[in-house]
Amino acid sequence: MTQILEIRDLKALARRRVPKLFFDYADSGAWTEGTYRANEEDFAGIKLRQRVLVDMSDRSLETTMIGQKVSMPVALAPTGLTGMQHADGEMLAAQAAEAFGVPFTLSTMSICSIEDVASVTTKPFWFQLYVMREREFVLDLIDRAKAAKCSALVLTLDLQILGQRHKDLRNGLSAPPRLTPKHLWMMATRPGWCMKMLGTNRRTFRNIVGHAKSVADLSSLQAWTNEQFDPQLSWKDVEWIKERWGGPLILKGILDPEDAKIAAKTGADAIIVSNHGGRQLDGAHSSISMLPRIVEAVGDQIEVHLDGGIRSGQDVLKAIALGAKGTYIGRPFLYGLGALGKEGVTLALDIIRKEMDTTMALCGKRRITEVGRDIIAE
Ligand SMILES: Cc1cc2nc3c(=O)[nH]c(=O)nc-3n(C[C@H](O)[C@H](O)[C@H](O)COP(=O)(O)O)c2cc1C
């Protein structure tokens, strides 16, 4: 096996180990994938200032996100179907994040449930909420997250309707997966994945099945998800969700300064500058290119976080320098998980940590909390 030195190596290994339909599900964006690519590429255009002969000893990446201590400002983003990249994926990723000292965010559309993840972790994780038309189910989800002592609710705003991903349609990916001969072949060629999957009973959307009224079994889930995302979700809904939840609230999916200004007035604790990893509005700007404008608009009123396209510790550092208080990684941890399970998630975090630490030092800084625009070259 080739040495794993960067996130790209984990991606290559995941491609070999995860059935194509699930690997493609992670490695895809909407339509032309232009925004998906821009998220990654626009980081490369930002240049750093090299400094010399400054004290580079005793460095620290420790900081806070929404007042909670983190060993570095990198959380795991909520991702659906993570338990299909690797058996019990959400539980393993949550454990890796906990040991590393960074937040794990569980998606509403996860395979392992809130209760599954709570049963294998000792510290609070974060929960991401999709607002469904079946409000009773949404209220119940919020209450379950509270009962599991989740320490933040991440409310996703940019998926009232689904963007189209060609790869998923061509692969016939559905939720839950249908077992066609093509899918069986994709799985049979990944025997290690199959063995682990056979060893768990967590293979469906366990936050939903058995909890939502109209979803008793797998056959009705697909119809349910298609009709359940609420296209009429509005800023008014943020109010009652905030009230019902009563804890730290993060609004995810802000890409426009005007929306950021409205979000800042809701009393939420943070916003995430995000285009859903390029999976929703293809043709939208990259997250990193919108960050400075959003920080300028609301940076003094609300904590600003960013996700989308982070593939290295350098990318994290650039986001922090441009005003983000925290960042999230989606695909990098999914590739780690698909490649090597829990150890792969730890490895992804470790690669990013080392890259961030070295880069910070070579820019002449010793603490992440001191990093600002002055490390960016004009
Ligand atoms: C496979 C996959 C599934 C995702 N599922 C969700 C989800 O269920 N809820 C959500 O809010 N965001 C979801 N996202 C978006 C991520 O939270 C995050 O915004 C994005 O992955 C960041 O970009 P990156 O993958 O380039 O790091 C998903 C992303 C991926 C790649």
Structure confidence by residue, pLDDT tens digits, 328-371: 999 999 999 999 999 999 999 999 999 999 999 999 999 999 99
Q: Looking at the CA of residue 26, tell me the nearest atom of ligand 1.
A: 1
Neighbours of 306 (CB within 10 A): 30
Distance between Cα 54 and ligand 1 center (Å): 38
Residue nearest to atom 28 of ligand 1 (CA): 79
Q: For ligand 1, say whether the CB of 109 is within 6 Å of any of its atoms.
A: yes
Query: What pLDDT, on the 0 to 100 scale, is given for residue 1?
Result: 61
Pick from 79, 153, 287 the residue to mutate for probing ligand 1's pocket: most ligand atoms within 8 Å of its CB.
79
Query: What pLDDT, on the 0 to 100 scale, is given for residue 73?
Result: 99
Q: What is the largest CA-CA distance in the chain?
A: 65
Q: Looking at the CA of residue 310, tell me the nearest atom of ligand 1.
A: 27
Q: For ligand 1, say whether the CB of 309 is within 6 Å of any of its atoms.
A: yes
**Which segments in the chain show pLDDT lower than 70?**
1, 175
Catalytic, 86? Answer no
Distance between Cα 50 and ligand 1 center (Å): 33
Q: Looking at the CA of residue 105, tell me the nearest atom of ligand 1.
A: 17
Pick from 82, 162, 279, 315 the residue to mutate for probing ligand 1's pocket: most ligand atoms within 8 Å of its CB.
279
- Annotated catalytic residue, options 86, 276, 285, 305: 276
Among residues 82, 166, 86, 88, the alpha carbon closest in space to that of 128 is found at: 82
Q: For ligand 1, say whether the CB of 39 is within 6 Å of any of its atoms.
A: yes
